[in-house]
Amino acid sequence: MMKFKGSGVALVTPFHADQSIDFDGLQKLVELQIQGGTDFLVVQGTTGESPTLSSEEKNKVLETVIEVNNGKLPIVYGIGGNHTNALEAAFKHLPKGIDGILSVSPYYNKPIQKGIVAHFKAVASFTDLPIILYNVPGRTGSNMSVETTLELSEVANIVAVKEASGNMEQIMDIIRLRPSGFAVLSGDDNLTMPLIAAGADGVISVVANAFPERFSQMVHASMAGDLRLAKEAHYDLFSITKMFFEEGNPGGVKVALAMRGLMTETMRMPLYPISDHLRSRIQTESQRLLGSL
């Protein structure tokens, strides 16, 4: 499903200082993405602090994004978990305006590969929407093997994988062996340019929240084969990307978003504000990047 290609962004959830959701900030964030060259939006991924939002809050965030987006960009919604049968209920009352689902491999339970396959085949039976698999061993405690991803790629409505294993050989094997029409998306911002050069189809990014203009330029140049421009933008963003993940996500990117006047830095516990030293470094680098836009 090649509507999910190019520069995707895993939207943060803006909060007021009292930790209530800042829907005005969310509107500004979506508008920035539309204007900044982002190709598709992901709502309620981990970057959106989804574990700390109630079902009612998740629905309201999704409805707000759909309304503000107004059909301009494809919208992917995060639905995943480690209780397979309980996920069916989450698919029953989804609003119109969703183009696909991002579903993380089951976490904490640490299933074997056959269990991961069975889980995702069940999830695919719960909906007709296209599904993007999400492999992120650093969060789930288990890796989806190449063989597992390829087996699942044969399921009709499983159309892509967001690969955040950090294993370049594994990801290139998936690219090499995948069926036609199955998209491979980077789940690591700093690996996006080399992965697209190796044949990947895009990214679901954290950095693009704060710098969609420069990040989408890098992605689109990579996809067009303009490696001079792609490498220039890649290394321009390289330092800030490392900083954003230095003390956990989305603490770093929210500092840059606050600098753009879009929201506060507030996160919900158990996430914790980044250190003053890191904040200062992010602010300095953000000023440099914003000055070049």
Catalytic residues: 134, 162
Question: Hey, CA dihedral for 80, 85, 88, 89, is it positive or negative?
Answer: negative
Judge contact between 262 and 187, C-beta under 8 A.
no
Task: Determine the Cα–Cα distance for residues 56 and 287; give it in Å rounded to an integer.
Answer: 36
Position 56, amino acid:
E
Residue 235 φ/ψ, nearest 5 degrees? -75, -25
Question: Hey, CA dihedral for 57, 136, 173, 241, is it positive or negative?
Answer: positive
Beta-bridge partners for 24: none
Task: Determine the Cα–Cα distance for residues 169 and 151; give it in Å rounded to an integer.
Answer: 18
Q: Within a 13 Å sphere around the CA of 21, how many CA atoms are in the beta-carbon half?
A: 20
Structure tokens at 286: 């953000």
Sequence-separated (6 or more) residues with CB below 8 Å from residue 117: 148, 151, 152
